[in-house]
Amino acid sequence: METIRGKTSQSLDFDGLRARLENYERVLLDLGTGDGRYVRFLAEQHPDWFIIGLDACRENLRASSRLDLTNALFIIANAQALPQELCGLISHVTINFPWGSLLKSLLIGEAALMSGLTQISKPQAEIDIYLNGGALVEAGSNLEAGTQIIYEQMNRYGWNVQIPYWIDCCVLQKFPTTWAKRLAYGRDPRARALRGTIL
C-alpha cells in the first residue's frame, strides 16, 4: 500500500506494517482524514495507541505526515478499496464529516466499502461516524434522514450501531478536526453521530 511522508511516497507491505504495530494494542483508522489533524491529536494524546489516517487526496496530508510521530501513519487510498495490508488489524474506525464518494458509499451501503470495513476490523472493533447537514444535502439527503439511512446501512452490514445522537456547537468547537471547527463557526453548527461495534 502507498504511505506518505511529506512529499515522499513509500510502499509498506503487510510485514512492514505488522512490525510497526508490534507494541500497540489499539490501532485506530481515521477514514477520510483530510489534513490529518485528528490523527496528530490522537497520536500525541495517546502514545500507546497507533493511529492511521487514510485519504484519497494526498495534497491535504503533506503537512501532518511530515511530523515525526512514531505512532502515526498516513495512507493514500480509496475508501472503497481499502488496502489488504490492513486486514484484521483495526480496533477502532472513525469517519469524521465524510463528503463526496465516501459519504455516498455510506448512504447506499456500497459493498466495496462495507466489506472492506469488515475485513480490516479486529473482533469487537468500534466505529464512530460524525455527519454534517451540508454534506448530506449535497448528497441529496439531509442531516436527520441521511443519518438514519447510514445507521440502517451499518446495521445491515454487520455492525451493531446505536441510535444516532446529536453533537452540539460546544462539542464541535472542541472536537479536534478542521472540519469540526468550520462547522462550529458556520451557519448550521450541529452534527449527528453514530457509534457502534462490529458483531
Q: Least distance in Å: CB of 40 to ligand SAM?
A: 12
Contacts (CB under 6 A) with ligand SAM, residues 77-136: 78-80, 96-102
Residue nearer to ligand SAM on the CB measure, 7 or 18: 7
Question: Nearest residue to ligand SAM, using CB?
Answer: 34
- Name the amino acid, one letter, at 102: L
Judged by CB under 6 A, does residue 56 bind ligand SAM?
Answer: yes
Tell whether the torsion through CA atoms of 6, 9, 14 and 19 is positive or negative.
negative
Nearest to 172 by CA among 180, 161, 160, 164: 180
Judged by CB under 6 A, does residue 186 bind ligand SAM?
Answer: no
Q: Least distance in Å: CB of 196 to ligand SAM?
A: 18
Judged by CB under 6 A, does residue 57 bind ligand SAM?
Answer: yes
Q: Is 106 helix (H, G, I), strand (E, B) or coil?
A: helix
| 55, burial (CB in 10 Å: exposed 0-12, middle 13-18, buried 19+) | buried
Contacts (CB under 6 A) with ligand SAM, residues 17-36: 32-34
Q: Least distance in Å: CB of 19 to ligand SAM?
A: 25
CA distance linking residue 92 with residue 180, whole number of Å: 20
Longest pairwise C-alpha distance within the chain: 47
CA distance linking residue 35 with residue 57, whole number of Å: 9
Judged by CB under 6 A, does residue 14 bind ligand SAM?
Answer: no
Q: Least distance in Å: CB of 91 to ligand SAM?
A: 19
Binding site for ligand SAM (CB under 6 A): 32-34, 55-57, 60, 78-80, 96-102, 177-180
